[in-house]
Structure 1
């Protein structure tokens, strides 16, 4: 699959399914992924999926995947507000410090991948060229 977008993720299932599109950042936190997304937005990328999509609070799941456009244009203020807002929400929910077992971690990976698949499936045609 080729596209005019890339993925920033710390989810190994995402990296496995979308190897050519994913900047995989193993051992990164959700905050690290949001910060990387913000850096991309500052460089002119558009944030394509909502960073807080889904019903899981950002401090509950250790996995997060963001879809960003490859085209570098002017600073997109909407994308910047979204990612900055997500970082602020993350600050309100301190890390829970819970050590999850392998099955729970796998469940969180599946949920993140499912949200990502939905975001990619709903992309406008021009992102799939």
Structure 2
């Protein structure tokens, strides 16, 4: 399993069977990289638009993927829709230049949601 993320809270994350692919890139770029993985036969295991935070409000995004033998059409559709949705939201309003304490809050939300999802996937 692979954890693709731009959230620095995952820099020292260790969980058996999880490879962390940390990138210092934007939310949109994480979605685009996830799309690239999907085109290399990875399946998306966590929804790329999880949580109740609008995609143009948060800086952090993490996606859990798993290699497969064939192209997963559901993952293709899911990541394509996520990218379209992000672009639509960003056209309405750019991501604010948040203060550090707000960035930290978004980082914690992303970290908690994904670590909980990973625990459920591994069970």
Does TM-score exceed 0.5, indicating one fold? yes
Segment drifting more, 116-125 vs 85-94 = 116-125
Distance 1:97 1:49, change over 3 A: closer
State the partner residue of 1:75: 71
CA contact (8 A) 2:56 2:86 kept: yes
State the partner residue of 1:61: 58
Alignment TM-score, normalising by the size of structure 1: 0.86
Q: 5 Å matches for 1:1-129? A: 5-18=1-14, 21-26=19-24, 28-69=25-66, 71-94=67-90, 96-125=94-123
Name the Cα RMSD after superposition.
1.6
Alignment TM-score, normalising by the size of structure 2: 0.90
Structure 2: gaps spanning 5 or more residues = none
Structure 1: gaps spanning 5 or more residues = none
CA contact (8 A) 1:9 1:15 kept: no
CA distance in 2, matches of 1:22, 1:15: 8
CA distance in 2, matches of 1:84, 1:54: 18
SS in structure 1 of the partner of residue 11 of structure 2: helix
Distance 1:100 1:18, change over 3 A: farther
CA contact (8 A) 2:7 2:61 kept: yes
How many aligned residue pairs are there? 119
CA distance in 2, matches of 1:55, 1:65: 14
CA contact (8 A) 1:63 1:108 kept: yes
Q: Post-superposition shift, 1:124? A: 4.8
